Amino acid sequence: MTGTTDLKLEVTDVTKSFGNVTALRGATLSARAGEVTAIIGDNGAGKSTLIKCVSGYHAPDGGEIKVSGKPVHFGSPLDARHHGIETVYQDLALADQLSVWQNIYLNRELTAGPWPFRVTRRGAMRAKARELVGDLAVNVPEVTKTVMRLSGGQRQAVAISRAVMWSNEFVIMDEPTAALGLRETQQVEALIRRIVERGTSVLIISHNFEQVMRLSDQVWVMRGGRVVNGHRTAEVTGADLVAEVTGAAAEHF
């Protein structure tokens, strides 16, 4: 295991229950700065609950979360954002009737002037969104186009671009290509590689083991609310991961 100096995220013995249902039973994992870290596991393994604890959606019942070596306690997703953590959920949370640039700035609009006479800086937001999309080489049409007219891959690219706009530090993605075809999956994966090359750390949840093998530097296996194993991706095979997810392999974490 790596030293703590290059760890962007550390999760230690995190627990979470909902009534009589225990979702996390002392989960422990970490993510290095400037890498893609993957979490895999069957439905009900605790992956989404763990991500929601890291992103401020749920407060853990126990354990510790550190960002860049400092303990954090998130009361809301806004708290997580203030620590540089942005999350792209499966539903993307895009407003179909709004344009690309409006979605990128949704609830974070740029304004100018004294209250109560503040005005929205629409031109500045369009220009900055256009610059961002251009820098990321995202396959998205003009930023004035409404999101409802975009393909699935373009919508995903808008959601990722929005996350990168507001955090160049740590982005979480829940099944980033689950509903996409082969070509759009390749485009989104290329986008993920580009943002990592820019210095952003990425944490993904994926059921696609081939994608995990292609994209990630580190992979953690969850089962029954626990992290049962962790590997440098280059040192493991897809077959090994399948065996660990299903419980066919002996645990040694």
Does residue 3 have a pLDDT over 60? no
Q: 152 and 159 in contact (C-beta within 8 Å)?
A: no
pTM of the complete model beyond 0.75: yes
- Of the candidates 208, 174, 192, 206, the one whose C-alpha atom is nearest the C-alpha of residue 91 is 174
What architecture does CATH give domain 4-246?
3-Layer(aba) Sandwich (3.40)
pLDDT band of residue 253 (cuts 50, 70, 90) is very low
Cβ(198)–Cβ(115) below 8 Å: no
Q: What is the pLDDT of residue 241?
A: 93
Return the structure tokens found at 29: 């994992």
Reading the block at residue 151, the tokens are 């393909």
pLDDT tens by residue, 148-169: 999 999 999 999 999 999 987 9
Q: What is the pLDDT of residues 174-188, one digit of tens each?
A: 999 888 888 889 989
Residue ranges covered by each domain of the chain: 4-246
- Kindly give the interhelix angle for 152-166 and 182-197, rounded to the nearest 10 degrees: 10
- Asked if pLDDT for residue 137 goes beyond 90, the answer is no
Neighbours of 253 (CB within 10 A): 13
